Structure 1
């Protein structure tokens, strides 16, 4: 066996292995991404079916002309005040939506909102994923 044949055999084997590994990773990642998107869509449909009034109010707020750039919201009772001068925000009332706290906790669990509470009144940041879901339907 000469050195050239051995080198060519080694290189072709290494390239074949690397190419196979690359293609396997690529197709596995694509399959995993599709699976995650389907799971996220399923979670969104579950949220919409559990809390339709809350989602409808959020959808109308996000789609309004004034609400296009707003990504923060507070949850509180109607008769309380908020002393916050930071950025524009939405306010959702726990006495209007009895399941509001449960809905927000579920949205946070799924990564649609992030808790940013600066004081006593719960404040949340809306993810762009949630904005996309609210705008698409």
Structure 2
């Protein structure tokens, strides 16, 4: 065996292996992204079915001209007042939506909102993924 044919065989084998590995990773990533998108869509449909009134109110708030840049909300009763706010916030009322606390906990569990309560009144930050879901449907 001469050195030239040995080198050519080695290089072609290395290139074939690298190309095969690259293509396998590429197609696996694409399949994984599709699977994650499908699971995320299924989760969102489940949330909409569980809490339709709350999701509809959030959707109308986010879609309003005043609510386009708002990314926080308080949970409180209708007859209470919030004395301070450092940023514009939505308010959702537990006496209007009895299942509100359960809905927010479910949204927090799946990463759609984050608890940022500064005092006694629960306050949450809205994740951009939730904003996208609310605006797209």
- Report the TM-score when normalising by structure 2: 0.95
Asked if residue 99 in structure 1 is aligned to residue 116 in structure 2, the reply is no
Counterpart in the other structure of 1:14 = 14
Secondary structure of the residue that 2:132 maps to in structure 1? helix
Listed as ranges, the gaps of 5+ residues in structure 1 are none
Cα distance change, pair 5–84 in 1 and its aligned pair in 2 (3 A): farther
C-alpha root-mean-square deviation of aligned residues, in Å? 1.0
Counterpart in the other structure of 2:61 = 61
Secondary structure of the residue that 2:125 maps to in structure 1? strand
Runs (4+) off by over 4 Å: none
Asked if residue 127 in structure 1 is aligned to residue 127 in structure 2, the reply is yes
Secondary structure of the residue that 2:65 maps to in structure 1? coil
Counterpart in the other structure of 1:46 = 46
Aligned residue pairs: how many?
A: 137
Moved more, 87-96 or 116-125: 116-125
Moved more, 92-101 or 3-12: 3-12
